[in-house]
Amino acid sequence: MKNGEDRIKSETTDSQVLNKDIDNDDGEDRIKSETTDSQVLNKDIDNDDGEDRIKSETTDSQVLNKDIDNDDGEDRIKSETTDSQVLNREIEFLKGELEKEKEVSEKNLSKLRYLMADFDNYRKQIEKQMESRIQEDRAALLTKILKIYDDCTLAVETLKNGDYDSTVIGGMQGIMTNFEGFMKDEGVVEIETLGTPFDPNIHDAIGFVSNELAPDNTIMEVIRKGYFLGNKVLRPSSVILSKRTVTNKDINETDKE
């Protein structure tokens, strides 16, 4: 009997232990399951709240961005309008300055033209003065050479009238020929005077000779030859003019007239 009771107690104890273990396992599993379900639910709730919050934040951000865009658009339009007005004012100002500069440029150009014309006239005047000075110096030099030529001419005449060797006379005549060729190359031309009427512009009267056949003031003799240099008189001719003798018969005929 006693053994049977002990066995029963032992079985009861084992059963209780087993039940406790089962209860413990079930409790732990239930707790675990409940914990898992709670976590899943919380996650779902968190996910839903996160999505809603994200959507809400997105919507708010879009609305804010729209407001910002609207504000920026208005500000940009205002800014562009202001910039356009400033630009137009600057363009008008620059146009005015350009017109002023054009007027100044035209005045300066006109002054420059007058200055160039004055300079051109001055240049021409200087060139004329230089040319005139050159011609004067050239004429003075040729005049001095003509004096040497006159001396040579006189020397040849003296040799011809004296008793001199023909070789000397020929040498002097050769020198005279060279002088004449040089003067011709320089444009010096002899003034034809003998037998022509007196012209005070090219003749220099140094005396008169009585001549009944030639008209008064006819050149009868050339004492010193005159020359042209181009179209100007380099040296006038020194001449003797004819002069008719006045008689009583001529006076009576004049009174009768």
53/116: higher pLDDT? 116
Give the HSE-up count for residue 49: Cα atoms under 13 Å, Cβ half-sphere.
6
Kindly state the percentage of the chain with pLDDT values over 90.
38
The residue to which tokens 């020397």 are assigned = 155
Report, in angstroms and rounded to the nearest whole number, the Rg of the chain calculated over CA atoms: 71
pLDDT of residue 31: 35
Q: What is the mean pLDDT of residues 106-128?
A: 93
Residues 6 or more apart whose Cβ sits within 8 Å of residue 186: 138, 142, 229
Q: Is the pLDDT of residue 116 over 90?
A: yes
At 248, is the pLDDT very low, low, confident or very high (cuts 50, 70, 90)? low
Q: What is the pLDDT of residue 189?
A: 92
pLDDT of residue 35: 45
> What is the residue-averaged pLDDT of the chain?
76
Give me the DSSP letters along 43-67. HHHHHHHHHHHHHHHHHHHHHHHHH
The per-residue pLDDT for 256 is 52
| pLDDT computed for residue 72 by the predictor | 62
Identity of the residue numbered 183: M
C-beta atoms surrounding 47 within 10 Å: 10
Reduced to 3 states (helix: H, G, I; strand: E, B; else coil), residue 135 is: helix
* Amino acid 247: pLDDT: 60
User: CA-CA distance, 64 to 77, in Å (whole number)?
Assistant: 19
What local confidence, expressed as pLDDT, does residue 25 receive?
46
Crossing angle of helices 2-161 and 166-185, in 10° steps, is 140
Q: What is the pLDDT of residue 71?
A: 58
Most confident option among 14-28, 70-84, 125-139, 232-246: 125-139
Q: Where are the beta strands (DSSP E) in the chain?
A: 188-190, 203-210, 219-224, 227-229, 232-235, 237-243
Please give the pLDDT value at position 157. 85
pLDDT at residue 60 in the model: 56
Task: Pick the range with the lowest mean pLDDT from 37-41, 111-115, 180-184, 188-192.
Answer: 37-41
Task: Identify the sign of the CA torsion 123, 128, 131, 137.
Answer: negative
Residue 19's Cβ-side half-sphere holds a number of Cα atoms within 13 Å equal to 6
For residues 13 and 9, give the distance between their C-alpha atoms in angstroms, rounded to a whole number.
Answer: 6
Residue with the bigger pLDDT between 27 and 122: it is 122
In this predicted structure, the answer to whether residue 77 has a pLDDT above a threshold of 50 is yes
Q: Which structure tokens are listed for 170?
A: 């020929």
- What pLDDT sits at residue 78? 75
Domains of the chain are 187-257 (2.30.22.10)
Looking at per-residue pLDDT, the higher value among 77 and 135 belongs to 135
Q: How many residues does the chain have?
A: 257
**7-52 confidence digits (pLDDT tens):** 545 544 454 544 444 344 444 445 344 444 445 434 443 544 545 5
Q: Look at 20-29, 59-68, 149-158 and tell me which has the smallest mean pLDDT.
A: 20-29
